[in-house]
Amino acid sequence: MLKSTFFELCTTYSTDEQLIAQLWEEISKNHSAKNRHYHSLTHLENLLDQLNNVKQHITEWNTLLFTLFYHDCIYNARKGDNEEQSALLAEKRLTALKVPQASIDQCKTQILATKKHAFNTNSDTNYFTDADLSILGQSWEDYSAYAKNVRKEYAIYPDLIYRPGRKKVLEHFLNMERIYKTDYFFEQYELQAKKNLHKELIGETV
């Protein structure tokens, strides 16, 4: 479904089938790299499912789909500028597809918003960042699997370094007045997300 969604999206702007195929291959290859345990094609599939549930609330659906495909396209656990690099890549690829500049700018803004997942004045952006965090409010079993996969992505770091950094991430979300900015995701996942985050923080994950 991801591939067909991407091809249908791109053909709205370009008839260059070879270019579209190359862009998909890049997305697929990047998300299938051996160091990708959570930020993978499965994550994109789950995110698409979440967004389809709120499609009626989205103003610029095509832009949001481009954000979905490119927001984690660059992911290196050693770097702190993955969102910035992903946004730059999206700009290059969307320009090649002849996507309107306003949509490109919005896509870049939405990708950068995933760095902190803070409230945004743009409703579409809030739906996207909420969907991106939906894993936090899943069952404890699913959340625990997510947490373990994130740890695998940071396997280059020993616990002495990883755990303090992870603790900051958990506390960041727990200290938010509300994790989910939209009513839909708040009602669906807020309570369970805070329970899950707290359980990991006190050491109930492996």
* CA dist., res. 114 & res. 106, Å (int): 13
Tens digit of pLDDT for each residue in 69-103? Answer: 999 999 998 999 999 999 999 999 999 999 999 99
- Angle, helix 123-132 to helix 183-201, in steps of 10 degrees: 40
Domains of the chain: 2-201 (1.10.1300.10)
Give the number of other CB atoms < 10 A from CB of residue 75: 20
Q: What number is the average pLDDT over the span 33-49?
A: 97
pLDDT at 136: 98
Q: How many residues are given for the chain?
A: 206
Can you say whether the dihedral through the CA atoms of 44, 119, 149, 71 is positive or negative?
positive
The whole-number average pLDDT for the span 44-64 is: 98
Give the pLDDT confidence score for residue 205 in this predicted structure.
55
C-alpha 168/C-alpha 1 separation (Å) is 35
Judge whether residue 163 has pLDDT over 70: yes
Cα distance between residue 163 and residue 180, in whole Å: 24
DSSP-derived secondary structure letter, 72: T
- Alpha carbons 198 and 206: distance in angstroms, whole number: 14
pTM: 0.96
- For the chain, the 3-state helix, strand and coil shares in percent, each to the nearest 5, are 70, 0, 30
- What pLDDT is stored for residue 12 in this prediction? 98
Pick from 164, 165, 133: which is nearest to 146 by CA? Answer: 133
Confidence at 152, pLDDT banded by 50, 70, 90: very high
Confidence class of residue 106 from pLDDT cuts 50, 70 and 90? Answer: very high
Contacts of 82 (CB under 8 A, 6+ apart): 72, 74, 75, 76
Contact 82, 89 (CB under 8 A): no
Inform me whether the pLDDT recorded for 206 exceeds 50. no
pLDDT band for position 182 (cuts 50, 70, 90):
very high
Q: With residue 59 as reference, give the H or E element that holds it.
A: none
pLDDT of residue 168: 95
Cα separation values, 38 from 21, 57, 126, 197, Å: 24, 27, 21, 17
Question: Percent of the chain beyond pLDDT 70?
Answer: 99
Q: Which two tokens stand for residue 134?
A: 């939906």
Q: What is the mean pLDDT of residues 50-77?
A: 97
